[in-house]
């Protein structure tokens, strides 16, 4: 059975403490079971702490060895009560969403889902296109494949047999619609290589509004071809590309009401909006903000923190810069965090920085980070379970002020965190001076932020 929950002592005494990173989903409690691989729900971390020290019985020492844990270097326990945590949630409490996530059946990711489920496309239309692309349309070919003996003819061109590829991509009726919509957008229509993936490639570098409009265009074309095919068969009407085109144009009006994205203020985007006679969505003018890096008080230490993750989750690092009231850099740290998310890296940068500053004898610390969420977690005391013990241990003796700052005035910590992402898990580089390559924020300089 996979271990989704475990006991933790001292509000989160997990393996991360001794790696100085949150990297493992294994808790110490997972390893102190006597029955080997399966989780022992009665096992407590406090069972292996005697007189405030780790005391690992030989019967379970093998579990630690198999998990590659050198028991002689685990830092002393922080003590506290055993707390049961649900490892999959940040709070440590069970959430229904975690339960659903474990049990739901996961399908392969499909490249087209992001194109059809958009704010600018009505959900009923998204559902229609989802059925078409999932191969749910009852075309003649599909009915024949199911063993129904019918003659097949495409009701739109009255020439070929009907299957998905013919109906939506190579039927002269469909290619007429496709070439018309391509022309309205100013894109080149290649009648030889056509499928959903190739038509979406036209807008990969275009503005968000054009991507939205093109997604709506593809959706409209495919669904209207299908609806028109049904009308031809069941209402016995002749195929008319003119009727399909006018319906598609009407649908763009619906899309223009729903869309929230903005265009690039360029002629090529403007022409597309004019062609569909819908309201323009010009890009908002760029605002220029001035921001400053200010000095801490006389007896205060200013700590700039940053975490980064290449991939989110991916190889991650933490960076910390310590500055005194004169602006002198009195410390810089990079730490390798292994594979974790950006958010966890931001949290760990603050924890590692505070532990370091505290060990160096500072008691009044001003913590700054460009992660608003991380600062909010600490300022409101809503800390994820896996760092709770460390946080409770740190804050006992410190006076801490938290501020969220712009990343334009946090670049020194950012440089150190990127350096940390290249370090192996659990490795720390600390310096007690400013490094020659490191540019630090200047209190007399005005920095600019474009938003």
Binding site for Zn ion (CB under 5 A): 154, 156-157, 171
Strands 49-50 and 53-54: antiparallel
Contact 77, 13 (CB under 8 A): yes
Per DSSP, the three-state class of 220 is helix
CA distance 218 to 205: 17
**71 vs 230, beta carbon nearer Zn ion:** 230
Is residue 325 within 8 A of residue 422, CB to CB? The reply is: no
Residue closer to Zn ion (CB basis): 132 or 157: 157
What is the DSSP track for 33-83? -TTTTS--TT--GGGGEETTEE---HHHHHHHHHTT--GGGSPPP----EE
Provide the 10 A C-beta neighbour count for residue 128.
21
Nearest approach, Cβ of residue 166 and Zn ion (Å): 6
Answer left, alpha or beta for residue 30, where phi above 0 means left and psi between -120 and 50 means alpha: alpha
Q: Which is nearer to Zn ion, 174 or 350 (CB)?
A: 174
The distance of closest approach from Cβ of residue 219 to Zn ion in the complex, given in angstroms and rounded to an integer, is 20
Question: Based on the number of CB atoms within 10 Å of its own CB, is 302 exposed (0-12), middle (13-18) or buried (19 or more)?
Answer: buried
Beta bridge partners of 394: none
Give DSSP secondary structure letters for 167-194.
Answer: IIIISHHHHHHHHHHHHHHTPPP-SSS-
Q: Which is nearer to Zn ion, 156 or 349 (CB)?
A: 156
Q: Rounded to the nearest whole angstrom, what is the least distance from the CB of residue 170 to Zn ion in the complex? A: 8
CB of 339 to Zn ion, least distance (A): 51
Q: How far is the CB of 138 from Zn ion (least distance, A)?
A: 16
Rounded to a whole number of angstroms, the minimum distance from the CB of residue 164 to Zn ion is 12
CB 54 within 8 A of CB 31: no
Q: Which residue has the tokens 């270097």?
A: 73
- Minimum Å gap between C-beta 123 and Zn ion is 29
Cβ-based nearer residue to Zn ion, 132 or 383: 132
User: Rounded to the nearest whole angstrom, what is the least distance from the CB of residue 152 to Zn ion in the complex?
Assistant: 11
Nearer residue to Zn ion within complex by CB, 227 or 266: 227
Sign of dihedral through CA atoms 38, 39, 41, 46?
positive
Q: At its nearest, how many Å lie between Zn ion and the CB of residue 139?
A: 11
Instruction: Walk across the sheet containing 314-323 and list its strands.
Output: 399-404, 364-369, 301-309, 314-323, 329-340, 428-431
Question: Smaller CB distance to Zn ion: residue 157 or 209?
Answer: 157
Instruction: Please report how many Cα atoms fall inside a 13 Å half-sphere around the Cα of residue 211, on the Cβ side.
Output: 17
Q: Considering beta carbons, is residue 120 or 156 the nearer one to Zn ion? A: 156
Nearest to Zn ion of 171, 305 (CB atom): 171
């Amino acid at each position: 059975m996979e271990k989704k929950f475990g006991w933790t002592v001292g509000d989160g005494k997990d393996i991360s403490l001794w790696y100085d990173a949150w990297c493992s989903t294994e808790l110490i409690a997972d390893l102190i079971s006597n029955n080997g691989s399966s989780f022992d729900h009665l096992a407590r971390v406090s069972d292996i702490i005697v007189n405030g020290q780790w005391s690992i019985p030989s019967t379970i020492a093998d579990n630690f060895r198999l998990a590659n844990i050198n028991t002689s270097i685990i830092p002393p326990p922080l003590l506290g009560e055993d707390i049961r945590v649900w490892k999959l949630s940040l709070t440590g409490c069970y959430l229904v969403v975690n339960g659903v996530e474990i049990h739901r059946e996961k399908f392969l990711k499909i490249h087209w889902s992001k194109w059809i489920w958009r704010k600018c496309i009505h959900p009923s239309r998204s559902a229609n296109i989802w059925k078409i692309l999932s191969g749910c349309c009852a075309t003649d070919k599909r009915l024949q494949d199911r063993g129904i003996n019918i003659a097949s003819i495409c009701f739109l061109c009255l020439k070929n047999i009907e299957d998905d590829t013919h109906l939506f991509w190579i039927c002269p009726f469909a290619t007429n619609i496709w070439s018309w919509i391509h022309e309205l957008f100013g894109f080149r229509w290649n009648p030889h290589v056509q499928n959903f993936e190739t038509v979406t490639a036209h807008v990969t570098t275009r503005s968000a509004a054009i991507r939205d409009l093109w997604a709506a265009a593809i959706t409209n074309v495919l669904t209207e071809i299908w609806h028109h095919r049904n009308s031809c068969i069941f209402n016995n009407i002749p195929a008319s590309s003119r009727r399909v085109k006018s319906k598609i144009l009407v649908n763009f009006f619906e899309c223009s009401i729903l869309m929230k994205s903005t265009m690039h203020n360029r002629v090529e985007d403007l022409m597309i909006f004019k062609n569909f006679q819908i309201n323009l969505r010009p890009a908002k003018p760029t605002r220029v903000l001035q921001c400053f890096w200010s000095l801490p008080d006389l007896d205060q230490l200013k700590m700039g923190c940053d975490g980064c993750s290449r991939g989110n989750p991916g190889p991650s690092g933490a960076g910390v810069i310590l500055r005194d009231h004169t602006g002198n850099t009195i410390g810089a740290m990079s730490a390798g965090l292994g594979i974790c998310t950006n958010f966890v890296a931001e949290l760990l940068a603050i924890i590692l920085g505070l532990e370091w500053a505290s060990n160096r004898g500072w008691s009044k610390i001003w913590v700054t980070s460009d992660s608003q969420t991380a600062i909010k977690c600490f300022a409101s005391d809503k800390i994820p379970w896996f760092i709770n013990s460390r946080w409770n241990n740190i804050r006992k003796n410190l006076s801490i002020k938290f501020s969220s700052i712009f990343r334009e005035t946090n670049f020194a910590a950012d440089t150190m965190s990127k350096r940390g992402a290249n370090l192996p898990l659990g490795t720390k580089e600390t310096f007690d001076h400013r490094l020659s390559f490191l540019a630090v924020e200047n209190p007399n300089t005005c920095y600019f932020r474009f938003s």
